[in-house]
Amino acid sequence: MAGRTLFQKVVILGYGKVTSEVLQYVYDRQMEYGYELVFIEHEVHAFSTTEKICGNHGILFHRITDKKELAEFLDRIEEKTLIISASNNFLFPASLVEKAHITIINFHNALLPGYPGRNAPTWVIYRGEKTTGITWHYVTAGVDEGSIIIQKTCQITEDMKAYELAQCLMDLAAEAFRESFADILAECAGTREQGFDPDRHMYRSSEVPADGILDLTESPEEIYRLLRSVDYGKSAVFPPLQTTIDGRSAEILRYRKISGGKREEGEGLLYLPLGDDAALKIKYRFRDV
Amino acid sequence: MEEKILEILEEHCEEALDYEGDSMMEDGVIDSFTVINVVSDLEDEFDIEIDAKYVVAENFRNKEAIIALVQKLLEE
């Protein structure tokens, strides 16, 4: 039986795990609904699998890294279209958002109206939140302001790093998308307004927790939280944290929570007690060497 | 060295040990989050810095490529 939708085209925009899962799911439903499917890669990532998925299934793939070119591409769409912004930092122009034949939904990696803007996993860890979650919402001219389609929550565990939380949130986002997609296509998804505070803080990509300075006079727990909050592995989301050791500027290379007895000697190693039987091992290098 | 690398791989991605293809990422054996964990453990175990320029699909296409990467960094 054919699915019910008036959308003639579905455009997916994004990168990363959630985008791959959304792309695969939307492709799997394509025969049922009959829409044309287009994928746009705006930000190129080292481990992206979306091009491979498109190649395997014959999905129209566009790599458009230039913002102006992307805006023009989207502006040329004439059919009734659903644009899915799966994990994407491109801000849709108001002129596009306001078009009657265009509907845009976006995944945000926090529970809106809380933590709008960039790098939400970082800020929830840094602020010591115990729970966070994901939001799929309709896109309006404002950033992360549109009405909410679905939200799901998850716990932030005491050792969770930003990339681990990001992974958890992407899994939740894919799950929530699968639950909502049919209603979104049928334009009957239940929504609720965000009711946000106009004074809420919009996190920007240039903002770094603690201004990127690791203050060794802080408690080890606070230091550990800061380290975890900016930890996206080798993705240069933030510059390396800076600190001062013995009056010299140093850069943090890596860190690890270890059980108390596992200490080893070595240059550029620092240990801080962390709870009863654990320590925070920090590897650093002086900047003047 | 190889044995230790295989131990790290086993801990994060057991499938990688039996994989005989040439693209673990595209074949869904390993994902970008697992790569982060593997890189972190390799750096800690061998006290090396794996620069972001090395953290690309080519260097994580199979276990042999990962061993070769670590070998190269240890020799630098």
Kindly state whether residues A267 and A221 are assigned to the same domain: yes
Distance CA(A38)–CA(A50), nearest Å, equals 11
Instruction: State whether B57 and A256 contact (CB < 8 Å).
Output: no
| Contact status, residue A248 vs residue A288, Cβ threshold 8 Å | yes
State which residues form the domain around A82: 9-185
User: Is A193 part of a structural domain of the chain?
Assistant: no
Confidence of residue A63 (pLDDT cuts 50, 70, 90): very high
Residue A67 counted as domain residue: yes
At residue B33, the pLDDT reads 87
- The Cα A113–Cα A143 span in angstroms is 11
pLDDT, position A197: 79
The residue among A165, A234, A238 with the most chain B CBs within 10 A of its CB, best to mutate, is A234
Please check whether residue A221 lies inside any domain of the structure: yes
Q: Nearest CA to CA, how far is A208 from chain B (Å)?
A: 20
A243 and A116 housed in the same domain: no
- Residue whose tokens read 């040439």: B22
**How do residues A131-179 score in pLDDT, each as one tens digit?**
999 999 999 988 888 999 999 999 999 999 999 999 999 999 999 999 9
CA dist., res. B56 & res. B35, Å (int): 9
pLDDT for B21-42, tens place per residue? 998 988 889 988 899 999 999 9
Q: For residues A134 and A168, what is the distance between their CA atoms, to the nearest angstrom?
A: 10
Domain contains A191: no
Residues A170 and A229 in one domain: no
Q: Which chain A residues are closer than 8 Å to B60 by Cβ?
A: 47
Residue A234 has what pLDDT? 86
Query: Counting beta carbons within 10 angstroms of the beta carbon of residue A214, is it exposed (0 to 12), middle (13 to 18) or buried (19 or more)?
Result: buried
**Does ipTM come in above 0.85?**
no
Could you tell me the pTM of the whole model?
0.91
* CATH, residue A46: 3.40.50.170
Give the domains, in start order, of chain B with CATH numbers.
Answer: 2-75 (1.10.1200.10)
Q: Which of A17, A52, A233 sits opposite B36 (nearest CB)?
A: A233
**Shared domain check, A152 and A32:** yes
**Alpha helices (runs of H) in chain A, residue ranges in sequence order:** 16-33, 50-57, 67-75, 94-97, 120-126, 162-185, 220-229
Q: Are residues A177 and A215 in the same domain?
A: no
Residues A87, A171, single domain; the answer is yes
